[in-house]
A and B are shown apart, each in its own frame.
Chain A
Amino acid sequence: AQKITQTQPGMFVQEKEAVTLDCTYDTSDPSYGLFWYKQPSSGEMIFLIYQGSYDQQNATEGRYSLNFQKARKSANLVISASQLGDSAMYFCAMREGYGAAGNKLTFGGGTRVLVKP
């Protein structure tokens, strides 16, 4: 079974509008972390935001926020006020456990976002 699922292969968003990227995960480990990365055409992986399984509040980083619904096992990324530079591939990833084993990341299939002017 897929551990990380991103159901939206691609989406358009109008500049200055908000967009939500879906991510669901599957784990039986009570300790885990969820990450979002942005990958522009250059290929570099840019860290955006992190949510720990025990965090009480949803993570926010500037225009990025993570809608963490633990019971539903979802960790959707919300990008507010989209900019043309947000056009990229976005990956959701999960780390299970702590320590050396806990550093292993599993990735979803990604969502390509294209911001229209």
Chain B
Amino acid sequence: GAVVSQHPSWVICKSGTSVKIECRSLDFQATTMFWYRQFPKQSLMLMATSNEGSKATYEQGVEKDKFLINHASLTLSTLTVTSAHPEDSSFYICRPAGGGAGNEQFFGPGTRLTVL
């Protein structure tokens, strides 16, 4: 299957700091990237959809000024959590559109963010 990486895999930061999460599609080009958030024991919730070279589209209730998404190239998208607070602690997962030979949709391995 397609290879998708995320960095870092986990991060602990102090409240008020900003954290950048990178998502790379290593063996295919992704014009569209989806970012999800998953709280403990809950399902994945779509945060935003980004297209290479254009502004991201955010889901209702997601603050675009808090979760900055940049999709500058076909293989790299970044999510920056600005001025993180403990309630932002979550598991963040990216999913580049495509990449599968058939109908598979592959995800990044996820980034666990803990804000103290």
Contact = CB atoms under 8 A, between A and B. Distances in A.
Interface of A: 33, 35, 37, 42-45, 47, 50, 52, 91, 95, 100, 103-110
Interface residues of B, number: 27
Contact of A50 (B1, B95, B102): B102
Nearest to B9: A43
B103 A91 contact: no
Given A35-B105, A47-B104, A91-B43, A104 B110 contact: no
A107 B109 contact: no
B49 A43 contact: no
Contacts, number: 56
B103 A33 contact: yes
B91 A100 contact: no
B34 A104 contact: yes
A104 B107 CA distance: 13
B34 A45 contact: no
Contact of B43 (A33, A35, A103, A107): A107
A30 B90 CA distance: 35
Nearest to B51: A100
B103 to A, nearest CB: 4
A47 B1 contact: yes
Interface in B56-83: none
